[in-house]
């Protein structure tokens, strides 16, 4: 389940969350990601986990058969809805990506951006098994997340006994939050996904990585 501190951090920062996408240094990565994600999800029935402000929802809606965009933070969902996307293609719902209900619906693809970094290392195996049980074999899983970049990313404040790493982030309310942000290497991603997925691909860009696979 998403922690209260993490939810509060994103709630407070919702209005300014998309500023990261306005960073000119990231434009080349974002252009490449938009092309790759559109190609991966074209024609799919997509469940989007942790949709945030709907930045990626808008892109996916242009190519997918349908998108159900979800987030646990109401402030994020409210912003996503202001994009006024085609309601015949896009629906929204409140959902904790780390605590999926028994009946979550039928989809051909699951997409999440900026979310895998918040799944504890000790919970990842159990969670991947849960995805397979809830969505079934051959469903496409696409994970987009940040790479650690020296001089750009916030420094790692601490590492716990399980290897999870934490950063101290200052929110728009002036408060400081300790947020778990894991930055796995390609080899670690492949090792973790191998028992649960096939056709695993990891595209590593400067600021982001994109993982895709088919659930076994």
Each residue's pLDDT tens digit, 181-210: 999 999 999 999 999 999 999 999 999 999
Residue 27 lies in a domain: yes
Residue 167 lies in a domain: no
Q: How confident is the model over 100-150, as pLDDT tens digits?
A: 888 888 999 999 999 999 999 999 999 999 999 999 999 999 999 999 999
Q: How confident is the model over 162-187, as pLDDT tens digits?
A: 999 999 998 877 889 999 999 999 99
Is 48:68 a contact under the CB 8 Å cutoff?
A: yes
- In terms of residue numbers, what domain contains 106? 4-149+185-215
What pLDDT is stored for residue 126 in this prediction?
92
Residue 53 lies in a domain: yes
Residue 159 lies in a domain: no
What pLDDT is stored for residue 20 in this prediction?
86
Alpha carbon distance 51, 47 (integer Å): 10
Residue 140 lies in a domain: yes
Residue 155 lies in a domain: no
Q: How many domains does the chain have?
A: 1
Where residue 129 sits, what CATH number does that domain have?
Answer: 3.40.50.150
Residue 197 lies in a domain: yes
Sheet with 45-49, edge to edge strand ranges: 90-94, 66-71, 45-49, 109-113, 140-146, 208-215, 197-204
Alpha carbon distance 10, 73 (integer Å): 7
Residue 158 lies in a domain: no
The continuous run of DSSP H or E covering 177 comes out as strand 176-180
């Amino acid at each position: 389940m998403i922690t209260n501190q993490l939810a509060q951090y994103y709630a407070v920062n919702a209005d300014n969350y998309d500023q990261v996408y306005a960073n000119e240094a990231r434009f080349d990565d974002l252009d490449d990601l938009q092309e790759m994600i559109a190609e991966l999800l074209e024609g799919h029935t997509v469940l989007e986990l942790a949709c945030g402000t709907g930045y990626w929802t808008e892109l996916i809606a242009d190519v997918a058969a349908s998108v159900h965009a979800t987030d646990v933070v109401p402030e994020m969902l409210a912003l996503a809805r202001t994009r006024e996307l085609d309601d015949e293609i896009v629906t929204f719902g409140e959902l904790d990506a780390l605590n999926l209900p028994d009946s979550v619906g039928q989809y051909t693809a699951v997409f999440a951006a900026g979310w895998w970094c918040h799944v504890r290392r000790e919970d990842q195996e159990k969670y991947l098994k849960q995805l397979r049980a809830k969505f079934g074999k051959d469903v496409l899983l696409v994970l987009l997340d940040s790479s650690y970049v020296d001089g750009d990313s916030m420094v790692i404040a601490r590492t716990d006994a399980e290897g999870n790493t934490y950063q101290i982030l200052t929110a728009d309310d002036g408060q400081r939050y300790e947020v778990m942000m894991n930055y796995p290497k390609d080899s670690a991603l492949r090792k973790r996904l191998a028992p649960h997925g096939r056709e695993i691909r990891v595209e590593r860009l400067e600021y982001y990585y994109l993982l895709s696979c088919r659930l076994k």
